[in-house]
């Protein structure tokens, strides 16, 4: 863990996005609302690869939903993990291909300071 902990709630707001998760068999269905969660942190991370961990829960009998990334014509959209009774790959139930989860990071890129060195 690079930043944060697994007990502090960083949630600022949550709300309905006015869209629904549709399935192949019910493309106009309205039983799977998609929610938006906004969290805030204040940190600086060095260049690298990181994982985000978050939890989504609700009181509907089926959801609320945190849908995977969907790109028309592309079956593999990421490498997300999900926790049900243990951590495992998030896969499409039809194609069994790896899926990603959508998120947006807002912030600033901090320029790397130039380091002085000599070559002998």
Summarised one tens digit per residue, pLDDT across range 75-88 is 999 999 988 889 99
Give the distance from CA 6 to its chain's centroid: 16
Provide the token pair at 54.
């978050």
Contact by Cβ (8 Å): 2, 45: yes
Question: What's residue 115's pLDDT?
Answer: 46
Instruction: Provide DSSP, 75-113.
Output: S-----EEESSSEEE-B-TTT--B----------PPPPP
Q: Would the pLDDT of 5 be above 90?
A: no
Q: Which residues pair with 20 in a beta bridge?
A: 33
Provide the whole-model pTM: 0.70
């Amino acid at each position: 863990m690079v930043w944060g902990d697994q007990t502090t709630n960083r949630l600022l707001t949550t709300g309905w996005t006015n869209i629904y998760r549709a399935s192949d068999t019910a493309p106009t269905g309205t039983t799977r609302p998609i929610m938006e969660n906004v969290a805030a942190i204040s940190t600086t991370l060095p260049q690298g690869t990181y994982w985000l961990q978050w939890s989504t829960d609700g009181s509907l009998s089926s959801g609320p939903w945190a849908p995977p990334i969907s790109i028309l014509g592309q079956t593999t959209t990421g490498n997300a993990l999900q926790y049900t009774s243990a951590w495992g790959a998030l896969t499409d139930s039809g194609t069994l291909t790896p899926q990603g989860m959508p998120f947006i990071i807002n912030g600033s890129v901090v320029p790397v300071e130039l380091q002085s060195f000599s070559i002998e």
